[in-house]
Amino acid sequence: MSEIVFLLEEVSAREFLKQLLPRVLPADRAIPYRFIVFEGKQDLDRQIERRIRGYVNPQARFIVLRDQDNADCLELKKALSRKCEASGKNDVIVRIACRELESFYLGDLAAVEAAFGIRGLTQRQNERKFREPDRLGSPSQELERLTKRRYQKVSGSRAIAAHLRIEDSRSRSFGHLVDAIRRVSGNTAAARG
């Protein structure tokens, strides 16, 4: 493998990954990565097959990250996987952020507290709705409420991701993404069971 290519729905996902990847990828070797950012989910859905097929590096490994929004998670993953397979690549990993990327952040309220300097958020992690943030209907709205509208998608993603604890998130979909990145990069010693 010569590089990992992330196909992303939006800019905020790129900013999130820029902060996360140096802490998840193996420290003993440099693994190049690249981001292909689309203009929303419809653009990603429409272009994904062509972009993977036309990618010039035949040894690249691909990870697709898309919000679930209101779609059925399993059906969405199947549909994206079919498009990836139609590109001729059978080893593309598709990861769905349950509801929205913001559920990753709500899975670690200590990171939100540190990013925005808002005291008392960490203690709220055991409240019912924050124990399983992937089940929230609108994580972005919840995050805006928690931060008193200080959270903005791009700058907020950058700020919060810098503080996310890799191993202790309450977001299962975040854990699945981290495990996929570790698997693709060969950092299996750090992958969770």
Write the pLDDT tens digit of every residue in 141-156: 999 999 999 999 999 9
pLDDT-wise least confident of 71-80, 159-168, 180-189: 180-189
Closest by Cα among 54, 51, 64 to 93: 64
| Mean pLDDT along residues 3-27 | 97
Query: pLDDT at position 27, please?
Result: 87
| Alpha helices per DSSP H over the chain | 11-24, 41-53, 73-86, 102-106, 109-116, 128-131, 139-146, 153-161, 172-185
Query: pLDDT at position 188, please?
Result: 64
User: Rounded CA gap, 43 and 39, in Å?
Assistant: 6
Task: Indicate the domain borders of the chain.
Answer: 4-99+171-185, 102-161
Query: pLDDT at position 1, please?
Result: 56
Identify the DSSP state of 163.
T
Write the pLDDT tens digit of every residue in 75-127: 999 999 999 999 999 899 999 999 999 999 999 999 999 999 999 999 999 99
* Structure tokens, 115: 């990013």
The structure tokens 């540190």 sit at 114
User: Rounded CA gap, 72 and 83, in Å?
Assistant: 17
Query: pLDDT at position 84, please?
Result: 97
Q: What is the mean pLDDT of the chain?
A: 95
Residue 193 clears pLDDT 50, i.e. is over it: no
Task: Determine how many CB atoms are found less than 10 A away from the CB of residue 24.
Answer: 18
For the question of whether the overall pTM of this predicted structure is more than 0.85, the answer is yes
